[in-house]
Amino acid sequence: MRIRVATKDDYLWIARVIGKKNLPYCTANHIKDDFMWHRLYCVYEGDKVLATFSLVYDWRFEYLAIKRLCILNKKNEGKGIAKFAIHSILPYLHGKVGVTPWEDNIAMRKVLESEGFHLEYRFSEKWCFYVKEC
């Protein structure tokens, strides 16, 4: 597996897939904005895009957010793709890095904790804020 900034072809395919998933935290509009701002990344193997995520700086709270990490095909869930993505990008990030998984996303929370993130607080009834200094 490898990671790259999404190309136009990646973006078009990812937007179609995400549009069908109906995920409130990752919509086709999110994907479009992230692509336009050059902050959309994809995890791929061969010619297949397996997952997508975005790196977005939050100016208000002064941290880099890993957002909208999404495994695009259900058959690829549980194969360590999210762990690969987080583990692979951390060496390139500097300063405060945050991730906001849903409280019931136990798999992502375990990945974050295994990569040295710690739960700082919960908010809005279902979100957790995990943080790590890089």
pLDDT per position as a tens digit, 86-122: 999 999 999 999 999 999 999 999 999 999 999 999 9
Q: How many domains does the chain have?
A: 1
The helix or strand, by DSSP H or E, that contains position 54, with its residue range, turns out to be strand 48-58
Q: Which of 24, 30, 36, 22 is nearest to 52 (CA)?
A: 30
Residue 66 belongs to domain with CATH number: 3.40.630.30
Over residues 120-125, the mean pLDDT reads 92
130 touches 99 (CB < 8 A): yes
Q: Which residue range is the domain that position 46 belongs to?
A: 2-133
The structure's pTM equals 0.92
Q: Could you read off the pLDDT of 4-33 as tens digits, one per residue?
A: 999 999 999 999 999 888 888 899 999 999
